[in-house]
Amino acid sequence: MFLRVRTPFPVVLYGLYLVALGLSFRCVSRVLKPFVDRSHVAVWGWV
C-alpha cells in the first residue's frame, strides 16, 4: 500500500519564497534537499 507523505507547509513557503527571489525550480529543489527530497517538478507544482 502506498502512503502519501505531504510536504510540510513551512518548507513549501520557503520554496515559494526562494522562487520569488528569482531562483530556478531546479535550484530551489537542491536548496530544499536537506529538509525534503522534492523534484523541480514538485516545486513547479507549488507555484
What nine digits make up the cell of 47?
507555484
Distance of alpha carbon 27 from alpha carbon 29, whole angstroms: 5
Identify the pLDDT of residue 32.
Answer: 97
Identify the pLDDT of residue 7.
Answer: 94
Q: Which of 16, 21, 20 is nearest to 38 (CA)?
A: 16
For the chain, list residues with pLDDT below 70: none
Distance of alpha carbon 20 from alpha carbon 4, whole angstroms: 27
Q: Which of 24, 17, 1 is nearest to 39 (CA)?
A: 24
Residues 3, 21 contacting (CB under 8 angstroms): no
